[in-house]
Amino acid sequence: MRMKSLMSSIVALAMLIGLCLPAQAADPVKLRTAWMDEHETFLIWYAHEKGWDKAEGLDLELLYFDSGMAQLNALPAGEWVLCGTGAVPGMMGALRHDTYVIAIGNDESFTNAVMVRPDSPIMKTKGWNKDFPEVYGDPKDVKGKTFLCTTVSSAHFALSHWLNVLGLKDSDVVIKNMDQSQALDAFSSGIGDGVSLWAPHMFSGEEKGWKVAGTPNACKQGLPIVLIADKTFADKNPELVAKFLRVYLRSVEMLKNEPVKSLVPEYRRFFLEWAGKEYSEALAIKDLETHPVFTLQEQLALFDTSKGPSKAQQWQSEIATFFAGAGRITQEDLKKVGNASYVTDKFLKMVQTPIPSYK
C-alpha cells in the first residue's frame, strides 16, 4: 500500500509540475521566399537576422534569384510561396501563374535607368520631348542602337518608356537580353550603345562615369517593387501571409526612423554575405536614400479601392497596357490582367497592429 501511495504521489507531483511549466511553443512554420540582390531584400534579411520572423511563428528561407522572370520560372515547381519582385514580373506572375500582389516593397521609379557612356551622342539632347524635360536623347541618335537589358523586367519597362518618350518602339533598337550582372560587365567591356539597369547596378554604372538618359520617374511613370504570393498558398494560409507582411513592415518602420548612415554597416554586410557582392559606403547610402518605403497605413492607402481602382492597381494596369501596346503580351492577355484585380489588400487588412518596435 505504501508503494502505491508513493507512486500516486509521484504521479500527482509530475502532473502538478507539468501544469506549472509554460507550454512549449510550436515550431515556427518554414516558408520559402524568393528575392533578388536589391534593396527590398535587405528588409526581409534584416528581419530574419533579428529573429523577427520567429517572433511571428515563421522561419523564412530567403532564396536568391538574378531576375524576376527567373523567380517566376521557379514557381510551378513549388520552390517558393512568397516573393519580392519587380512590378513587371508581378504582372506576368498574375498572368502566367495566378499570383497575387499583396503589398508594395518600395518605389523604384528613381532607380531603374537607361544609361549611356559620357561621350554618347544621346546625351547631347535634353528635353527633345517638351513634356519630359529631364529625358535625354533624340530619335535620330537612338534609332538602330544596341541596348543591353533584362527583358520583361522593370529595366525593360524603363527602356521601353524612354523609347516611347522619344517616339520610338522596342523594334526601333536592338535589345540584347542579359541579366543585370552580365549587362553591367558587358557594357563595361564596350558592348552595346546603352544599358538599362536597376539599383544597385545602376549606381555601379554611375561610379564608372556612365550617364542617365532616362528613368521611369523622369518619364512620369510609377514603378514599384511588389510583394507577391502564390494564390493557392495564400488562400489556404491567409494568416501566414499577414504575419509575413508584419515581419516586412517591422523593417519598414526601422528604415523610416533610423538614420541612413547607421544602417550602412548592416546593408554592406547583407550584400556581402547574402549576395556575395561588396559595395562601398557611398553606394550603400545612395541605395538606401533613393528607395522610398511604405508603412502599413500608407500601404492601405495605396491599395484603397473605395473610390475606384487603387493606386497600386493603376500602376499594375499601366504596365500591362504598355506591354500589350509594345506587343510583349497579347490583347487576350491584357483582358486577363488589365484591370489588375490580382492586386489585393485583403492580407494587409489582416496584419495585426500595432507593428512591434524595431528597437
Residue 99: C-alpha distances to residues 80, 92, 94, 264 (Å): 12, 9, 4, 33
Point out the residues of the chain with pLDDT beneath 70.
1-25
Q: What is the pLDDT of residue 13?
A: 42
Q: What is the pLDDT of residue 328?
A: 86
10 Å CB burial of residue 43 (0-12, 13-18, 19+) is: buried
- 247-263 pLDDT, tens digit per residue, is 999 999 999 999 999 99
Q: What domains lie within the chain, and their CATH numbers? A: 29-108+224-350 (3.40.190.10), 112-214 (3.40.190.10)
Q: What is the pLDDT of residue 25?
A: 59
3-class SS at 103? Answer: strand
Q: What is the pLDDT of residue 153?
A: 87
User: What's the whole-model pTM score?
Assistant: 0.85
Q: What is the pLDDT of residue 23?
A: 43
